[in-house]
Amino acid sequence: MDAPVTTETLTLVEAGRRAALQEMRRDPRVWVLGEDVARGGLFGQYRGFLDAFGPDRVVSTPISESTIMGAGLGAALVGTRPIIEMRIFDFVMCAMDELVNQIAKIRYMFGGQAKPAVVVRMPHGIWRNSAAQHSQTLESWFAHLPGVVVAAPSTPADTAGLLVAAIRSDDPVLFFDPKNLFGVTGPVPAEIDPLPFGRAREVRNGNDLTLVAWSAILPDCETACDALAAEGIGVDLIDLRTLWPWDEEAVAASVARTGRLLVVHEAVQAGGFGAEVVARTIERLGPASVKAARRLGAPRVPVPFSPPLEEVVKVTAPKIVAAAKATLGAPAAPR
Amino acid sequence: MADTAPTGHNTRRWLDLYRTMVRIRAFEETALAAHAAGQMPGPLHVSIGQEAVAAGVCLNLRADDRITSNHRGHGHAIAKGAGIAGMMEELFGRAGGHCGGKGGSMHIADFSVGMLGANGVVAGGIPIAVGAAQGLRLLGSDAIVACFFGDGAINRGPFLEGLNWAALYRLPVLFVCEDNGVAAFTRAGEVTAGAGAVARAEAIGVPAESVDGNDAAAVDAAAGRLVASVRRGDGPHLLHLRTFRLLGHTSTDKAAWRPEQEVAEARTRDPIARLRARLIEAGAADATLDAIAAEARAEMAAARDAALAAAWPDPATAWTDVLDTPAPEAA
Ligand SMILES: Cc1ncc(C[n+]2csc(CCOP(=O)(O)OP(=O)(O)O)c2C)c(N)n1
């Protein structure tokens, strides 16, 4: 056995801060750029960084999303390793050319002459009734995009480990911080090791149903698992942690055992990444081995502001319980 | 701008400029002919008539300086020193191209000479250039970045963002606005309010100057001054170079909407002919200049023949250069 590691209980946002701090101390080529990062960032992700690293490595930028993204890329092309902070995911729409046409393509188009080693941090999802332009979860768009890694952790430890891996990776990593979970606490090792991409986390074990999820919806899934357990239903809950690559093995192995798959995401159900998880799992196992497969996501409407309206479109624990029961009660072998 | 008085030093520089310009011209004429013969796939944007811009600016750059370019980037690449064999093979989609055949004309890059890439998106190179400059400074380098873009690019947001950004952080960037008067099939002036690139740059606090971009010696002289200033740490500058796109937007566009007379008149200001006249006046021999041009044509013809005979990419390479991180395991 390894020597016992010191761990601390940290919030998720602090876990990310520690990871970035550790890596900026380790590697002088790592720096961060984005709006207000020298003031600590919108969520305090970079608190104290200016004092620790100075204004050349902690660069508060103009509100110029195209150039935040594109300058990060340019700086990577000459050998630095930028953390590109987008403040709120939705603003990445102002930098789509730089992300989709440039960052994701440049290594391939140029035949491997350059690796754009950037991390793009994008706090996403529903948070404090922020309405339609500050609440989106569009991670499936980026899982669809060749040339990027997509990370979407849900715990402090995973945030820390994946962020360290992202910063050390030569691949461009799109890092979806779950902003609604920034305050959630959990153990984080004092020395943060990189967590490999594409390895899911077993959250709960059970034999009746495989429940697959990622990012901010995980706590609701756990609440749903508790409710189902009280009724004697055992759920295998899997947190994918990264969507590209994603742990097809772990999901297939679980579904091979339970025969039933439910994928839950905060994002809109139609065209969501849940469809890919369902399709790949059935392709791998064959339709005869899967008794039921369903998805639960949001309806295809923008996220409304008013709390009772937001509640209508949000995926919640009771909705997950209902979807789980529907999956369990579904007729065998859909063909 | 008045011609610089001919001296031995100038003549040598002008011969360098002349060689680069005729090599660019020969490269593009060779590529155009191959394209017309159906030997070259994809679209081709040539810079025939604009060679003084690339040659004059890049003659003032060091090997470790970087450039970013646009869709009309063959000249910028050649002037920065990109290998011709790799460029030609890339245009023909061959394995030995700088990008292994994955980029083509619109995505020529040669990082070994600091050419950080042509770009298929108008203004796409501007944020990359300012970021490269910021990165170089962070690494302690005194290399600078020259950022080439057309007059059409100044109406895209990244132009405004990039100039503001470079000025704010006093980054070592030379913005080069290659103003050929047109953006695809539209005169840039018809879709640009105000006085254009120089006025916009000055409004942001980026010193700018406008030079006859068909006068290679004038471009060289201006670029020399501005590059020195940028390298000294004076912050970014913008060099606005007025030129003329003699051919169509792409290899298949005849630009038939332009009055013939306008083009004929522009041909009298061909930058290569003008530099040649100046060299002759300074004492260069016709035979010397003819030999340089013939050598360039022979170089490009040989590169074309080699590229045509070169291997296509191994189909397996379609899967490489995507990510280090492995894809999920196939079933
Ligand atoms: C963002 C974007 N919009 C439109 C195009 C299509 N397009 C390619 S080149 C071009 C004209 C560009 O004009 P300019 O920047 O002046 O360069 P020039 O072609 O004159 O060299 C256009 C509209 C593009 N490539 N990118």
Bridge partners (DSSP) of residue B187 are B182
- For residue B204, which residues of chain A lie inside 8 Å, CB to CB? none
Q: Whose CA is nearest to atom 25 of ligand 1?
A: B121
Mean pLDDT of A181-204: 98
DSSP category for residue A190: S
Ligand 1 center to B149 CA (angstroms): 9
| Cα–Cα dist A252/A243, whole Å | 15
Element (H, E) at A227: helix A218-230
Q: B181 by DSSP, 3-state: which? A: coil
- For residue A119, which residues of chain B lie inside 8 Å, CB to CB? none
What is the CA B278 to chain-centroid distance, rounded?
23
Pairing between β-strand A7-11 and β-strand A185-189 as defined by DSSP bridges: antiparallel
What is the ipTM, given to two decimal places? Answer: 0.93
Kindly report the average pLDDT of chain A as a whole number.
Answer: 96
Amino acid (1-letter code) at residue B218: A
Contact flag A246-B328 (C-beta cutoff 8 Å): yes
Element (H, E) at A238: strand A235-239
Per the listing, tokens 């690139």 go with: B197
Pairing between β-strand B208-212 and β-strand A30-34 as defined by DSSP bridges: unpaired
Q: Whose CA is nearest to atom 23 of ligand 1?
A: B184
pLDDT band at A2, cuts 50/70/90? Answer: low
Mean pLDDT of A329-333: 54
pLDDT for the residue A125 = 98
Q: A146 by DSSP, 3-state: which? A: coil
Bridge partners (DSSP) of residue A34 are A60
In B, minimum Cα distance to A145 occurs at B322
Q: Does B86 touch chain A (CB under 8 A)?
A: no
Contact flag A110-B139 (C-beta cutoff 8 Å): no
DSSP category for residue B107: G
Helix axes B51-58, B8-36, angle to 10 degrees: 130
Is position A134 annotated as part of the catalytic site? yes
Delineate the domains of chain A, giving CATH numbers in brackets.
Answer: 8-189 (3.40.50.970), 201-328 (3.40.50.920)
Above 60 in pLDDT, residue A317?
yes
pLDDT for the residue B8 = 73
- Ligand 1 atom with the smallest distance to the CA of B71 is 9
Amino acid (1-letter code) at residue A29: R
Structure token digits, residue A179: 């902003």
pLDDT band at B169, cuts 50/70/90? Answer: very high
Per-residue model confidence as pLDDT tens digits over A248-305: 999 999 999 999 999 999 999 999 999 999 999 999 999 999 999 999 999 999 999 9
Write the residue in A97, A111, A245 that is nearest to B321 by C-beta: A111
Per-residue model confidence as pLDDT tens digits over B213-243: 999 999 999 999 999 999 999 999 999 999 9
* Whether domain B11-330 has CATH 3.40.640.10: no
- For residue A76, which residues of chain B lie inside 8 Å, CB to CB? 131, 135
Structure token digits, residue B307: 């590229």
Structure token digits, residue A124: 């996403």
pLDDT for the residue A139 = 98
Above 70 in pLDDT, residue B3?
no
DSSP category for residue B110: B
Per-residue model confidence as pLDDT tens digits over B81-103: 999 999 999 999 999 999 999 99
In B, minimum Cα distance to A53 occurs at B138
Q: A260 by DSSP, 3-state: which? A: strand
Q: Is the pTM of this model over 0.80?
A: yes
pLDDT for the residue A5 = 74
Above 50 in pLDDT, residue A76?
yes
Bridge partners (DSSP) of residue B176 are B148, B239
Write the residue in A71, A102, A169 that is nearest to B134 by C-beta: A71
What is the CA A98 to chain-centroid distance, rounded?
21
User: Domain residues of chain B, as ranges?
Assistant: 11-330
Contact flag B131-A73 (C-beta cutoff 8 Å): yes
What is the CA A331 to chain-centroid distance, rounded?
32
Above 50 in pLDDT, residue A28?
yes
CB atoms within 10 A of CB A27: 13
Helix axes B271-281, B286-309, angle to 10 degrees: 140
Whether the CB of B184 sits within 6 Å of ligand 1 = yes
Q: A151 by DSSP, 3-state: which? A: strand
Q: Does A286 touch chain B (CB under 8 A)?
A: no
pLDDT band at B38, cuts 50/70/90? Answer: very high
pLDDT for the residue B168 = 98
| Cα–Cα dist B26/B16, whole Å | 15
Ligand 1 center to B246 CA (angstroms): 16
Bridge partners (DSSP) of residue A165 are none
Above 90 in pLDDT, residue A330?
no
| Residue A186 exposure: Cα atoms within 13 Å on the Cβ side | 17
CA dihedral A198, A202, A205, A209 (to 10 degrees): -40
DSSP class per residue in A44-74: STTTTHHHHH-TTTEEE--S-HHHHHHHHHH
Kindly report the average pLDDT of chain B as a whole number.
Answer: 96
Bridge partners (DSSP) of residue B115 are B67, B110
